[in-house]
């Protein structure tokens, strides 16, 4: 992960997941988690980007 990806993942987790993995299942899960609460979206974003 680059510094840019980490910063985007902290600010807008769905955008970071979409840029890295495309719009698919991971993006939709991350979007839902971010809408439910910012922190779950960030945690899921880092999980998806580290895989």
Handedness of CA 41, 44, 50, 51 (dihedral sign): negative
> In the predicted model, is pLDDT for residue 26 greater than 80?
yes
Specify the DSSP class assigned to residue 23.
Answer: S
Query: What is the mean predicted confidence (pLDDT) over 1-8?
Result: 90
> In the predicted model, is pLDDT for residue 2 greater than 90?
no
> In the predicted model, is pLDDT for residue 32 greater than 80?
yes
- How many structural domains does the chain have? 1
For 43, the domain range is 3-50
How much is the pTM?
A: 0.89
Provide the residue count of the chain: 51
């Amino acid at each position: 992960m680059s510094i840019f990806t980490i910063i985007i993942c902290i600010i807008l987790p769905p955008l970071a997941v979409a840029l890295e993995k495309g719009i698919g299942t991971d993006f939709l899960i991350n979007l839902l988690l971010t809408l439910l609460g910012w922190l779950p979206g960030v945690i899921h974003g880092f999980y998806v980007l580290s895989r």
